[in-house]
Amino acid sequence: MKGKIAFEEHMAIEQTLSETKNFAGESGRWDDFSGQILDLGARRLENMDATGIEFALLSLNAPGVQSILDTAEAIEVAQRGNDAIADAAVRYPDRYGGLAALPMQDPDAASAELDRCVKELGFKGAMVNGFTQKGVPDSAIYYDIPEYRTFWATVAELDVPFYLHPRMQLPSRAQNYEGHPWLMSAPWGFAVETSIHSLRLCGSGLFDDYPSLKVIIGHLGEFIPHALWRIDARMRFSPRGYRGTRPLGEIFLENFLVTTSGFFNDPAFRNTLEVMGTDRLFFSADYPFESMQDAAEWYDNSQVISEEDRMKIGRSNAIKLFNLDLD
């Protein structure tokens, strides 16, 4: 399918590049991988052309700004990353847009940077890489806490989507992974970490305060769509501390959107489609952590997607969500 739109597509700047090295894959791949994630020119565009991806919303690599302990440095790196994305969008306006990196160490600074990116740079939303560290390495701040309500007010006022992207849990907080470091990242821990953060947002009353918020998660919903029935069924008996005024499943299906990034599998997609519906599903690749070729080959040829839905999930849903000026 030609004309696809993707928006879990990562880039890096020199200040954030090294944090990606652990996820580059097999030994010896780093030079090639770093070239991919730093490139915003010919190589990436040729890949997009070859796989039918017309337009990509770029975002800063994980954990990126979220792992910077000093707030002033986090603000500076976020601005540099966003300026690099904006420069690429100026050079290739028909191919790139941006999702803002945000210094969540300071909710007011994050609000100000999102406002700058949307109003001055033309960005279409934000991508934040999970919880934020601040001050000391053994810190993990989640955005359901009251201190972030002013930030969410800004997101709602700007009316742009917020993409919650995975990051690895801190070793000091991950005793259940001891002896099995492979579990902590993409094979399992990424989905666990992001799904818990998403469910915390659902259970915090956030979407009662700001019902128009749109939160995106990748990898076919980080296992949540498959578990929604079970979550709601058990919540009837043990809702201790739950602050939402509606069933959690209802909140999730109204306020969350899901992409195919990095999860190219027919049975899992079929289940997610049945739970979420075509209006809340979107194509993405997760480049360069996944290949555009794998993403597109699966998506373009999957027999569980009708041609009408393929165009909708691969293109028209994203045009509507991000208000893109594409024919």
pLDDT (tens digit, 9 = 90+) per residue, 197-219?
999 999 999 999 999 999 999 99
Domain that holds residue 170: 4-322
Average pLDDT over residues 94-114: 98
pLDDT (tens digit, 9 = 90+) per residue, 60-103?
999 999 999 999 999 999 999 999 999 999 999 999 999 999 99
Instruction: Give the mean pLDDT of the chain.
Output: 95
Torsion angle in degrees (nearest 10) through CA of 37, 43, 47, 50: 180
Three-class DSSP category at 263: coil
Q: Is residue 327 part of a domain?
A: no
Residue 239's pLDDT is what? 80
- Concatenating the DSSP letter of every residue in 7-66 gives EEEEE--HHHHGGGGGGS-STT-HHHHHHHHH--SHHHHHHHHHHTEEEEEEEEPSSGGG
Residue 19's pLDDT is what? 82
Q: Domain holding 96: CATH number?
A: 3.20.20.140
Torsion angle in degrees (nearest 10) through CA of 162, 91, 60, 284: 60
Q: Is residue 258 part of a domain?
A: yes
Q: Is residue 163 part of a domain?
A: yes
Q: Say which DSSP state 169 is in.
A: P
Residue with tokens 């979420």: 276
Torsion angle in degrees (nearest 10) through CA of 108, 112, 115, 116: -170
Q: Is residue 53 part of a domain?
A: yes
Residue 236's pLDDT is what? 83
pLDDT at 20 exceeding the cut of 90: no
Residue 27's pLDDT is what? 54
Please give the share of the chain, as a percent, with pLDDT higher than 70: 98
Question: What amino acid occupies position 32?
Answer: D
Residue with tokens 């590049």: 17
pLDDT (tens digit, 9 = 90+) per residue, 128-159?
999 999 999 999 999 999 999 999 999 999 99
pLDDT (tens digit, 9 = 90+) per residue, 208-254?
999 999 999 999 999 999 999 999 999 887 788 899 889 999 999 99
Q: Is residue 315 part of a domain?
A: yes
- Domain count for the chain, please give it: 1
Residue 110's pLDDT is what? 98
Catalytic residue from among 70, 159, 266, 286:
286
Query: Alpha carbon of 268 to those of 31, 65, 230, 282: distances in Å?
Result: 33, 31, 17, 14
Residue 241's pLDDT is what? 87
pLDDT at 305 exceeding the cut of 90: yes
Residue 1's pLDDT is what? 96
Q: Is residue 176 part of a domain?
A: yes
Beta bridge partners of 100: 126
Residue 26's pLDDT is what? 57
How crowded is the C-beta side of 322, counted as CA atoms within 13 Å? Answer: 29
Q: Is residue 172 part of a domain?
A: yes
Q: Is residue 71 part of a domain?
A: yes
pLDDT at 28 exceeding the cut of 70: no
Asked, as a colleague might, if the bond just before 187 is cis with ω within 30 of 0, I would say no
Average pLDDT over residues 309-320: 98
Residue 132's pLDDT is what? 98
pLDDT at 279 exceeding the cut of 70: yes
Question: Does the active-site annotation cover 286?
Answer: yes
Confidence of residue 285 (pLDDT cuts 50, 70, 90): very high
